[in-house]
Amino acid sequence: MIEFAWIWALAALPLPFLMRLLPAKKRTEQAALMVPKVSAGLSIVSKQGGTGRFKLFTAIIIWMLLVLACARPQWLGEPVSIPAEGRDLMVAVDLSGSMKVDDMTVNGRQVNRLVMIKHVLMDFIQRRVGDRIGLILFADTAYLQTPLTYDRNTISDMLNDTVIGLVGEQTAIGDAVGLAVKRFKQKEESNRVLILLTDGQNTAGNIDPSQAKELAVAEDVKIYTIGVGADQMLVRGLFGNRRVNPSQDLDEDMLTDLAQSTGGRYFRARDTESLQQIYAILDELEPVERESRQMRPLQALFYYPLGAALLLSFAMALVPLFSRGKQ
């Protein structure tokens, strides 16, 4: 819809006609209020015939356009919800070599741990409307794949493009936590939450998990840790199939301490269904910010009547030149 920021300016529209109603003496005394061309044109239109009428009509249109521009017309768009500031959610995903283990099932198909994490995590990301989300990938070291952003589609695309072994074969859990804390420090006021998914123990990196925990506590970063991997799986051998524990290297004590010390929780994801349940719990523990501000985008329109008035003014100025040329 169109609205006027200074609608009271429209009251000036009849001013030239009101000036015409004043006695001649009054108009002379108050010449500062007279509108050039219009009042004069009203008295000489009969003498100049068609040209006078054209000038008078054009001057009236110019006046109306100028008053309309002064009223500041603007287009008011549909209401748009602006998510409230204050929640930052960083997701750290393990890309170490052990994530290749095919002990997970997605839609009846045997897949490795990373494929299962992608499958469930992308749905979780799409539900976090209103949260800033960032993505950290770690193995031999940790690096920021995507900074904190409201663009959930970009996060999902970047996660989907990840491959195992991209940054090595080991597991730098401490570096992942430290990098998340560093990124959170750039946001002065926020609810800082880190979700860390791993299937092993800290075997690389420059920061020990205990040091990373201290940094997280100091910066008020809450960590939710998720241990990924099945408790058992069948492995084919020379003497038939045997059951093994593919998650024997998972350091649950360290992950539990890291989470509880920062006010978070440790979860165990043994299959796709359990990881989905974990994310449902996280939605309850860290609900999406529901409060939002409403804004209606404004587009200024005053330059349209103003531009039209200028064009008509130039046209009026050129009319006498063409008239002289014909003579």
Three-state secondary structure readout of 244-257: ECCCCCCCHHHHHH
pLDDT of residue 42: 45
Which band of pLDDT confidence, cut at 50, 70 and 90, is reported for residue 39? very low
Angle at 150 between CA 145 and CA 154, to 5 degrees: 45
pLDDT digits (tens, 9 = 90+) for 167-214: 889 999 999 999 999 998 877 666 889 999 999 899 999 999 999 999
What lies within 8 Å, CB to CB, of 105 at 6+ separation is: 111, 116, 271, 272
Asked: is 84-292 a CATH 3.40.50.300 domain? The reply is no
Gap between the Cα atoms of 317 and 181, Å rounded: 68
Gap between the Cα atoms of 83 and 88, Å rounded: 12
Which band of pLDDT confidence, cut at 50, 70 and 90, is reported for residue 128? confident
Gap between the Cα atoms of 87 and 102, Å rounded: 35
pLDDT digits (tens, 9 = 90+) for 212-251: 999 999 999 999 999 999 988 766 766 667 777 888 889 9
Is a pLDDT exceeding 70 seen at residue 153? yes
- DSSP letter at 10 equals G
Tokens of 248: 């024997």
Is a pLDDT exceeding 60 seen at residue 279? yes
Gap between the Cα atoms of 107 and 189, Å rounded: 41
Residues 135/145, Cβ–Cβ less than 8 Å: yes
Which residue ranges make up each domain of the chain?
2-76+297-326, 84-292
